Amino acid sequence: MQLTDAQIETFRDKGWIVIPNAFDATEVSVLNDAVKAVTEHDGPEVAREPDGAPHVVYGMHLLDDRFAALARHPNIVDTSEALLDSKVFVHQSRVNVKQIDGSIVKWHQDFGTYHRVDGLPDPRGIMVGVFLNDVNSCNAPVLGIPGSHRHGIVSRAFQDPTSEDFETVSKYRFDIPRETIASLVAEHGLEAIEGPAGSLLLMDMTVVHGSSVNITPLRRVILYLNVSAVDNRGETYERPEYYAARDFSPLVSAGDDCLKSFAA
């Protein structure tokens, strides 16, 4: 997949782009089967809601060969390299399941954690998302503040040990206070990031974003591969490998059928 000049310009200006139909129905089916497998995994990689339902599975590309193949899919490798002008490695991967009446994700920047906790020096990375369901205004889409990446890292961010999910999901998240969000939204606006199943999201890792509770019966699963330029690697090892990379090898693009080879 080759990005157009217009797409690259939009990414630089807004902070993200969504490419619909980047993955076809067969590939989405393969990835959904992989989601079923890893959410049944019994280990510290799986963060669960209070009722036991899986919410996030960290290190998905380390747990299942299908997700390892996704990380090497040309649509991900080629687009990431084009936007970063560099070879890339996976800093973190995860399955995010928006359970009905489940957790919210407060306003934050992914780079906020990667820099403060993992020692990633610079924000030369991309949050790559793959939609496994139609994501619309109803089923708790990611909300992004366009242009917020141009402010760099937000200094007025904090960890909140009073969060219900602090010991599972939000322990390492640096939440951004309401007054800062209000100021950013007043300056830049706010958008819901939507797209059909199979869409590819490419977002600068300093974009301020969050998501609300899913009160609908509509499934919403997004896969994330946060990639970084190969010379921009974590310098601390506070967190386990399923949170933050130990392998900084550049991703090598596989064939276009690397996911379809897993289809039954």
Instruction: Please check the confidence at residue 185 and state whether its pLDDT lies above 90.
Output: yes
Instruction: Tell me the pLDDT band of 39, cut-offs 50, 70 and 90.
Output: very high
Whether 5 is in a domain gets the answer: no
**For residue range 104-144, what is the model confidence (pLDDT) as tens digits?**
999 999 999 999 999 999 999 999 999 999 999 999 999 99
Instruction: Tell me the pLDDT band of 158, cut-offs 50, 70 and 90.
Output: low
| pLDDT mean over 220-224 | 98
Write the secondary structure of the chain as one string of H (helix), E (strand) and C (coil): CCCCHHHHHHHHHHCEEEECCCCCHHHHHHHHHHHHHHHCCCCCCEEECCCCCEEEEECHHHHCHHHHHHHCCHHHHHHHHHHHCCCEEEEEEEEEECCECCCCEEEECHHHHHHHCCCCCCCCEEEEEEECCCECCCCCCEEECCCHHHHCCCCCCECCCCCCCHHHHHCCCCECCHHHHHHHHHHHCCEEECECCCCEEEEECCCCEEECCECCCCCCEEEEEEEEECCCCCCCCCCCCCCCCCCCCCCCCCCCCCCHHHCC
Instruction: Please check the confidence at residue 6 and state whether its pLDDT lies above 90.
Output: yes
What pLDDT does 264 receive? 73
Instruction: Tell me the pLDDT band of 225, cut-offs 50, 70 and 90.
Output: very high
What single-letter DSSP state applies at residue 161? T
Residue holding tokens 């407060």?
Answer: 106
What pLDDT does 170 receive? 62
Whether 234 is in a domain gets the answer: yes
Output the six-digit token pair for 66.
């299908």
Instruction: Please check the confidence at residue 169 and state whether its pLDDT lies above 70.
Output: no
What pLDDT does 159 receive? 73
Where on the phi/psi map is residue 119: left (φ > 0), alpha (ψ -120 to 50), or beta? left
Tell me, what CATH number does 243's domain have? 2.60.120.620
Instruction: Tell me the pLDDT band of 155, cut-offs 50, 70 and 90.
Output: confident
Whether 79 is in a domain gets the answer: yes
What pLDDT does 232 receive? 98
The residue type found at 214 is N
| pLDDT mean over 172-178 | 87
Q: How many CB atoms lie within 10 A of CB 264?
A: 6
Indicate the range of 29-38, 114-123, 152-161 predicted with least confidence.
Answer: 152-161
d(CA 51, CA 148): 35
Terminal-residue alpha carbon distance, the chain? 25
Instruction: Please check the confidence at residue 190 and state whether its pLDDT lies above 80.
Output: yes
User: Could you tell me the CA-to-CA distances from 5 to 14, 20, 37, 47, 149 in Å, in that order?
Assistant: 14, 17, 38, 39, 20
Whether 6 is in a domain gets the answer: no
Instruction: Please check the confidence at residue 15 and state whether its pLDDT lies above 80.
Output: yes
Whether 205 is in a domain gets the answer: yes
Contact between 209 and 15 under an 8 Å Cβ cutoff? The reply is no
Whether 230 is in a domain gets the answer: yes
What pLDDT does 31 receive? 98
Which domain range does residue 239 map to? 25-262
Whether 187 is in a domain gets the answer: yes
When divided into structural domains, the chain yields a total of 1
Whole-number mean pLDDT of the chain? Answer: 94
Whether 83 is in a domain gets the answer: yes
d(CA 237, CA 241): 8
